[in-house]
């Protein structure tokens, strides 16, 4: 089974630009979550999508948004980039559902650098 695939692996953007990151979950997994990883703040939850619906959202400004397609692939968008948005963006896929506890598997991440 192929793992979680994130594209691109690396991105360099200028302040004020916008960026779109992509995540393809493990086949059969319907839940995709996004996390931001920085040296100072660690791993922070951005949002989760399940069956094309955002189920939960972390404490990030509205510049951070996402969506999920019918094939469970998810995209994350950051508009009006700031220097502080430089981070490793990780997505995680899970097979659940509701009422069950299952593992989350991470992709390799997209390293975003804002200059």
Partner 1 sequence: GENVEQHPSTLSVQEGDSAVIKCTYSDSASNYFPWYKQELGKRPQLIIDIRSNVGEKKDQRIAVTLNKTAKHFSLHITETQPEDSAVYFCAAKRTSGYNKLIFGAGTRLAVHP
Pick the piece of the chain touching partner 1 (CB under 8 A) from 17-25, 41-49, 60-68, 78-86: 41-49
CB of 33 to partner 1, least distance (A): 5
Q: CB burial class (10 A; 0-12, 13-18, 19+) of residue 23?
A: buried
Between 81 and 110, CB nearer to partner 1: 110
Considering the rule CB under 8 A, would residue 33 count as an interface residue with partner 1?
A: yes
Give the footprint of partner 1 on residues 65-104 (CB under 8 A).
90, 92, 94, 96-104
Q: CB burial class (10 A; 0-12, 13-18, 19+) of residue 35?
A: buried
Considering the rule CB under 8 A, would residue 60 count as an interface residue with partner 1?
A: no
Applying CB under 8 A, which of residues 15, 52, 55, 63 lies at the interface with partner 1? 55
Tokens 């995209």 map to which residue?
Answer: 75
Q: CB burial class (10 A; 0-12, 13-18, 19+) of residue 101?
A: exposed
* Integer Cα distance of 86 and 99 in angstroms: 35
Considering the rule CB under 8 A, would residue 108 count as an interface residue with partner 1?
A: yes
Considering the rule CB under 8 A, would residue 61 count as an interface residue with partner 1?
A: no
């Amino acid at each position: 089974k192929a793992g979680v695939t994130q594209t691109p692996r690396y991105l360099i953007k200028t302040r004020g630009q916008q960026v779109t990151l992509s995540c393809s979950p493990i086949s059969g997994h319907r839940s995709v979550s996004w996390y931001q990883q920085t040296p100072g703040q660690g791993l922070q939850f951005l949002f989760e999508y399940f069956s094309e619906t955002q189920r939960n959202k972390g404490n990030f400004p509205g510049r951070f948004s996402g969506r999920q397609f019918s094939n469970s692939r998810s995209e994350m968008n950051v508009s009006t980039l700031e220097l502080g948005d430089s981070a490793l963006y990780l997505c995680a896929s899970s097979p659940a559902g509701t009422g069950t506890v299952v593992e989350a598997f991470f992709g390799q991440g997209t390293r975003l650098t804002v200059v």
